[in-house]
Structure 1
Amino acid sequence: MADYLPEHLIVQILQRLPIKSLIRFTSVSKRWRLIILSDPNFAKSQFQQSRSRRVLCLDRKESEFDSRDMESPWSTGESSTDRKLSCPFKQPGYNLNALFSCNGLVCAALSDRNWTDLNIYLWNPSTQFFKKLPGAPLRFPFTRCYGFGYLSATGDYRVLIGNFCTLNNNHHIFSSNTNSWKSIQSPLPVQRDDQWILSNEALHSVEKEILAFDLNHDKFQTMPLPDPEPGQYIRELGDFRGCLCAFDYKNQCIGFIDLWVMKEYNVGESWTKFFTLKIFDLQPMVVRYLRPIMVMETSTILEIELSNDRRLIDTEFKLIKSCHKEEKFETHKISRKMYAKMIGYEESLLWLGVHNNRNCPMELAKKARNASEAEGQNNGEQGRMNSVNVANQGSNPVNVCVQNHGSSSVDVQLQTKQATVKEQVSRAPKRSRKV
């Protein structure tokens, strides 16, 4: 019986593990770190096999994020999988005005208080890799970030921005493949600057009708809403099983909302009412604010503000997990004084291309550095020689952040060790060879 597992079996086992475990395992060995953090094929397979749905909540006071598990039972209180995440690109005096998610990546828009400067970042909360996008050629202070999407055929991530509430319908779209912006025109002025919904590789917003932006063809189009029913009030969209869906709020005052699904994309006749979601018990309540965060297979996550009287004095914010096939829901009370933004996302190891232009996460670099130092101590004199060599270079090679190349920090460390060996060989005394 073999006393070891082939690498391809190890990789298959790792692909089935959650992200939190994989991040810890990056300190097991250099090879595991390279596979987990730098192999795009591994990241894709892991994302397909071990999806974890979570809600990312921005802590207004601490400028940090709470990452909350949405699939574990809420009755037990805080889950052991809930955790704090730092915001590596937060700037003093800047506020987060938009958050979008796609494939485990988060698009975040930061602006100063006067809306005279807008910075957009792509960030993976699981690995802490982030990238600042080049400045957009739009005039401030009316520029808003509308949405974030992905084209599977080309592996291209796209970001849509535009001028909000102006007569100028000029918009710009960013492409990660070209790392540049392109100007486009909208047929209608945009009246809402909240999150546009990604579905069928297009971004969608709703007014009297649906305004959609096709990411494949960089083109705006309008789409019909469900056939109006008496009192129908649709103001939010979502994605369910890859299909565009819409939320009808006409019965929210009695504790229900309806979820409609467009079974065939861009075909108005295919709109079908799928579920009626319960959002609170039948008692006198006033709904001041209600927004869907994530539509899952068996339930929908919503953020709601409720009041016991119409003076809106006694209000409370809650996260609601409403079941699709039965009138059952769970609630989790939240503090609106603490949380400023909330979005749904899925954990992943995915990144742009081959991890070019990435920032090394400090916590991972620290773990890798500790593992490297332990290895150096075990290797005795060789470990001390490596430490001296690193000191002469002025930095630890594990912490090197490769900005312009596809190689990882592990490759840099290996190259450093190889250079050390070559230097030792060149200094060794040459011996004459007898014939």
Structure 2
Amino acid sequence: MSDHLPDEVVLEILHRLPVKSLIRFRCVSNSWNSLITSSVFIKSHLTRSLSLPSNSNKLIVRHYIDNSSVDYYKLIDDNNDSFDQIQNIEFPLTTRRIQHFMLIGSANGLFSLHEKERYILWNPSIRKFTTLPKPCITVKAHCIWRCRQAFGFDPRTNDYKVVRIAFPSRTNVFEQAKPPLIEVYSLNEGCWRITSASFPPGIAFTNWRHPATSLNGAVHFAAAYEYEPGGPCGPLVLSFDLRDEVFHVIPLPNGISRWINSVHTSVIGGSLSLLFCCGRHADDTCFAIWVMKEYGVFDSWTKQSTVDLNGGEINWVLGLQKNGNILVEANVEGPSLCSELSSYDPKSKQVKNLGICGTPFYFHVDNYIENLGLLDKPNETVSERRVIRKRKCSLESKRMGHQPM
């Protein structure tokens, strides 16, 4: 094709191809391989993919089943109300130290996960992952007792970053709390770096389980002013700008219930969103979804929908569907502790199970975007890690005078 078409036409054709085809076409020639794996092409392909309406049609669901030590990922078509076509995506890793990988967050189809101080970036589109270097701030060296983390994308620098906010432990109950340490991993730079960012005093995180949200070059945490003798001052959103490395406080919308049991951030329709669990008693508890129509403009907060818990049938709200229904995590009847991804119709207040089960409060749903990210990074696969381990065992056996089996 390149013998009969100008280079700019060939480039335009390649930009329009899906990721699966581009991976195959790297074998056409060395020049095509260099082009497709270049950071410039990866960036321009992603920019075009984000502009396509069809990219909002696929959802990726992450769930975990107790005692399996395996993360499960599935693709579902948001245009299909029946969800009868579910595609499994094989997760290439098994945790060695804890029950399962902890999800830090996702951005543009890339996932960031960790077990203890081992950090992974994974791109299911190209079936590739990379292990990050060990962080600068460690539990042993810095006496860290807890760490809040986030993963985001900065379009201004075309860089994916992992953020760690590490809280040092106190030697005794009378010691004043030390300010947290903040470090950032930059995929472009390939290393961790402790920043000089100052964490706002008097603010604490309220939801450690759900991932922070990446939007507009910043990551967004659910937080609140710390408790005082008169009680809590109320929740808020704490954002961290990935380029300037500065924290900002985003006030919550007016008119929300003062009885907030839990809140977490999300992105719905490209807008910063808040999912509240409100109510004083179990019988009047509900979820409220608020959306910031114009990013950074406080007055643009709009109440999108309300979800009844149906007498405890619904555990958590996960996001909105294109047809107006709401993706929720619903309880499953039976002796085992299990939840199921479900669709809630706000008009009829009916819950429809979608056939994906998992451990309660560990579901994660995000838009699925095909991305070539990590294609220009060194390849790391499970098979390679096993080969290296076998070689080490073989050499060790020879050194000790034993023959490998």
Same topology, TM > 0.5:
yes
Partner deviation per Cα, 1:89-144 (whole Å, 9 max, x = no partner): x3423431224111111111112xxxxxx111111111122222222222325343
8 Å contact kept, 2:19–2:125: yes
For 1:31-180, what aligned pairs fall within 5 Å after superposition? 38=38, 39-40=41-42, 41-49=44-52, 50-51=54-55, 52-58=58-64, 61=68, 63-75=70-82, 77-79=84-86, 82-88=87-93, 90-94=94-98, 95-111=100-116, 118-140=117-139, 142-163=145-166, 167-168=177-178, 169-178=180-189, 179-180=191-192
Alignment partner, residue 223 of structure 1: 250
2:280 aligned with 1:240, yes or no? no
For 1:182-197, what aligned pairs fall within 5 Å after superposition? 182-183=194-195, 184-187=197-200, 188-194=203-209, 195-197=211-213
For 1:28-427, what aligned pairs fall within 5 Å after superposition? 29-30=28-29, 38=38, 39-40=41-42, 41-49=44-52, 50-51=54-55, 52-58=58-64, 61=68, 63-75=70-82, 77-79=84-86, 82-88=87-93, 90-94=94-98, 95-111=100-116, 118-140=117-139, 142-163=145-166, 167-168=177-178, 169-178=180-189, 179-183=191-195, 184-187=197-200, 188-194=203-209, 195-206=211-222, 207=224, 208-230=235-257, 233=260, 235-250=263-278, 257-277=287-307, 285-287=311-313, 289-292=315-318, 294-295=319-320, 298-299=323-324, 302-306=327-331, 316-322=338-344, 330-336=352-358, 342-352=364-374, 355-359=376-380
- Going from structure 1 to structure 2, the CA distance change for 1:216 and 1:326 (only over 3 Å counts) comes to farther
Secondary structure of the residue that 1:185 maps to in structure 2?
coil
8 Å contact kept, 2:273–2:291: yes
| Larger Rg belongs to | 1
One-letter amino acid of the counterpart of residue 182, structure 1: I
One-letter amino acid of the counterpart of residue 372, structure 2: L
- Going from structure 1 to structure 2, the CA distance change for 1:323 and 1:348 (only over 3 Å counts) comes to farther
Q: Using the TM superposition, give the Cα deviation of residue 163 of structure 1 relative to its aligned residue in structure 2, in angstroms.
A: 2.5
Q: Using the TM superposition, give the Cα deviation of residue 359 of structure 1 relative to its aligned residue in structure 2, in angstroms.
A: 2.8
Partner deviation per Cα, 1:38-82 (whole Å, 9 max, x = no partner): 542335434543524322334552625332214142525343xx1
State the alpha-carbon separation in 1 of the partners of residues 316 and 186 from structure 2: 32
Secondary structure of the residue that 2:162 maps to in structure 1?
strand
Secondary structure of the residue that 1:334 maps to in structure 2?
strand
Alignment partner, residue 389 of structure 2: none
State the alpha-carbon separation in 2 of the partners of residues 20 and 339 from structure 1: 32
State the alpha-carbon separation in 2 of the partners of residues 121 and 148 from structure 1: 11
8 Å contact kept, 1:299–1:322: no
8 Å contact kept, 2:146–2:166: yes
Secondary structure of the residue that 1:226 maps to in structure 2?
coil
Q: Using the TM superposition, give the Cα deviation of residue 84 of structure 1 relative to its aligned residue in structure 2, in angstroms.
A: 3.0
Q: Using the TM superposition, give the Cα deviation of residue 18 of structure 1 relative to its aligned residue in structure 2, in angstroms.
A: 4.6
Alignment partner, residue 391 of structure 2: none
State the alpha-carbon separation in 2 of the partners of residues 337 and 348 from structure 1: 27
Secondary structure of the residue that 1:209 maps to in structure 2?
strand
State the alpha-carbon separation in 1 of the partners of residues 251 and 153 from structure 2: 24
Percent identity between the two aligned chains: 21
Q: Using the TM superposition, give the Cα deviation of residue 315 of structure 1 relative to its aligned residue in structure 2, in angstroms.
A: 6.5
One-letter amino acid of the counterpart of residue 357, structure 1: P
State the alpha-carbon separation in 1 of the partners of residues 251 and 360 from structure 2: 38
One-letter amino acid of the counterpart of residue 53, structure 1: L
Partner deviation per Cα, 1:408-428 (whole Å, 9 max, x = no partner): xxxxxxxxxxxxxxxxxxxxx
State the alpha-carbon separation in 1 of the partners of residues 250 and 65 from structure 2: 36
For structure 2, which runs of at least 5 residues remain unmatched after alignment? 170-176, 225-234, 385-405
Secondary structure of the residue that 1:249 maps to in structure 2?
strand
Moved more, 205-214 or 295-304: 295-304
Backbone CA RMSD of aligned residues: 3.9
State the alpha-carbon separation in 1 of the partners of residues 278 and 350 from structure 2: 19
